[in-house]
DNA sequence: CACGAGTGCTTCAAATTCGAAGCACATCCG
DNA sequence: CGGATGTGCTTCGAATTTGAAGCACTCGTG
């Protein structure tokens, strides 16, 4: 017998909806700023940021990039193609694994990232952190970090047969 | 002279990244469940939920729906068309304003919503609230609700000339 | 070594998404 | 009333995104 379906109480619902709406609105706001200043989509910015800021070497394998950005592989191939065409990254076969492709940010990529970053943080500051105190920000980070780790660890569901899209 | 660009401290960065990643992962998880059980995309579910749960009448104007779901108008037209074709909603000209279109959820729409909802809440419970206590959930809701209100009120930026996409 | 399963990426076709332009109705002022 | 402006939605073309299929390489086992 299956467990009783755990329904959400009103507080949880509030938190869930607020979370999704804030993330959506924030993404929209950021997207607009990125487009204006650097002609970048949010995904492209995420990729550059991950390469230029998170990675100490400036390189990552395609798969790791895709996972980090919560993105499909084929979509990443497409975007990596665009970024490469714009000379913001290079793609080279990995030395240790012939199948893998290493994506590396170029100087131009770093330059664009630097150009875009101030406005980006400005939007985040104003839109997200304006209503939050320093303490609030810490509380938020402390609440969400475990959730992120939990979700990373627990894949949503075992693969199931796909139906045709509606 | 412009203000000094407010850069983000590490705590804020943590909070920002965690927020976006959690929202992204959660959306993916939910999307998969919705596809399996009801052959609905997340957007379609949001639309049905808004009509069937939030609205007391089961109806909304297109524009209000688009705003509520953070969505472009043309995208909403497309999705509303799909939902209508599947007999989950109806579209009728509004009585008081000939320009406006009222979207109304059908019985079939409500039925599908009911069918999908348990699994949906189950995913949210497990993925989002598993690592959070009751108190945490409340804290999260209380932190994010003001942010959402603030972002709703403050449009990202006045319209600026659009450039060609990269 | 040879085979079969697995992994990493790309290609492909189809679906979704967006912004700009267009259309119809509404509202505002003179 | 009449024209100008604004609003609500749809249409259109182009860009993006996705899952499935395909290809190449790797790994484990015999």
Average pLDDT, chain B: 87
The nearest alpha carbon in chain A to B159 belongs to: A32
Q: Hey, is the C-beta of A121 within 8 angstroms of any chain B C-beta?
A: yes
Return the structure tokens found at A165: 């899209």
CATH of the domain at B75: 1.10.10.10
- CB spacing of B147 vs A154 below 8 angstroms: no
Q: Hey, is the C-beta of A35 within 8 angstroms of any chain B C-beta?
A: yes
In a domain, B114, yes or no: yes
Q: What is the pLDDT of residues B23-66, one digit of tens each?
A: 999 999 999 899 888 899 999 999 999 999 988 898 999 998 98
pLDDT of residue B12 exceeding 60, the answer is yes
pLDDT of residue B149 exceeding 50, the answer is yes
pLDDT of residue A5 exceeding 80, the answer is no
Q: Hey, is the C-beta of A85 within 8 angstroms of any chain B C-beta?
A: no
Q: Which of B41, B156, B165 has the highest number of chain A CBs within 10 A, making it the mutation to test binding with A?
A: B156
Q: Hey, is the C-beta of A127 within 8 angstroms of any chain B C-beta?
A: yes
Domain of B87?
18-121
Return the structure tokens found at A84: 């490469």
B99 touches strand C (CB under 7 A): yes
In a domain, A3, yes or no: no
Q: Hey, is the C-beta of A124 within 8 angstroms of any chain B C-beta?
A: yes
Contacts of A19 in chain B (CB under 8 A): 19, 22-23, 26, 128, 140, 144
In a domain, B105, yes or no: yes
- CB spacing of A24 vs B23 below 8 angstroms: yes
- Edge-to-edge strand ranges of the sheet holding B101-105: B59-61, B101-105, B89-93
- Round and report the angstrom distance from CA (A59) to C1' (D27): 25
Residue B3: the pLDDT is 55
pLDDT of residue B166 exceeding 70, the answer is no
Q: What is the pLDDT of residues A92-111, one digit of tens each?
A: 998 888 889 999 999 999 99
- In 3D space, the residue among A127, A32, A77 whose CA is nearest the CA of residue B150 turns out to be A127
pLDDT of residue B80 exceeding 60, the answer is yes
- CB spacing of B156 vs A33 below 8 angstroms: yes
User: Beta strands of chain B (E only): which ranges?
Assistant: 59-61, 89-93, 101-105
Q: How many domains does chain A have?
A: 1
In a domain, B99, yes or no: yes
What does the alpha-carbon distance between residue B74 and residue A166 come to, in Å, rounded to a whole number?
18
Confidence of residue A6 (pLDDT cuts 50, 70, 90): low
What does the alpha-carbon distance between residue A13 and residue B166 come to, in Å, rounded to a whole number?
38
In a domain, A159, yes or no: no
Are β-strands B101-105 and B59-61 bridged in parallel, bridged antiparallel, or unpaired? Answer: antiparallel
Rounded-to-5 percentages of helix, strand, coil across chain A: 65, 10, 30
Residue B154: the pLDDT is 67
In a domain, B143, yes or no: no
Query: Tokens 């729906």 sit at which residue?
Result: B65
In a domain, A6, yes or no: no
Taking the C1' atom of every nucleotide in all shown strands and the CA of B98, the nearest one is C25
Which residues in chain A, range 97-116, keep a C-beta under 7 Å from any nucleic strand C atom?
A: 97, 99-101
- Which strand C nucleotides have any atom less than 7 A from protein CB atoms? 6-13, 15-21, 24-27
The nearest alpha carbon in chain A to B123 belongs to: A156
In a domain, B155, yes or no: no
Residue B19: the pLDDT is 95
């Amino acid at each position: 017998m299956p467990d009783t379906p755990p329904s959400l109480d009103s507080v949880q619902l509030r938190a869930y909806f607020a979370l999704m709406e804030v993330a959506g609105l924030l993404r929209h706001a950021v997207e607009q700023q990125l487009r204006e200043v650097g002609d970048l989509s949010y995904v492209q910015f995420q990729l550059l940021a991950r390469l230029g800021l998170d990675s100490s070497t400036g390189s990552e394998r395609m798969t790791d990039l895709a996972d980090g950005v919560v993105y499909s592989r084929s979509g990443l191939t497409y975007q990596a193609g665009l970024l490469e065409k714009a000379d913001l990254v290079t793609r080279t076969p990995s030395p240790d694994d012939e199948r893998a492709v290493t994506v590396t940010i170029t100087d131009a990529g770093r330059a664009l990232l630097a150009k875009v970053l101030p406005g980006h943080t400005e939007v985040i500051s104003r839109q997200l952190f304006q209503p939050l105190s320093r303490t609030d920000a810490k509380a938020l980070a402390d609440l969400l970090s475990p959730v992120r780790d939990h979700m990373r660890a627990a894949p949503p569901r075992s693969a199931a047969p796909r139906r045709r899209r509606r």
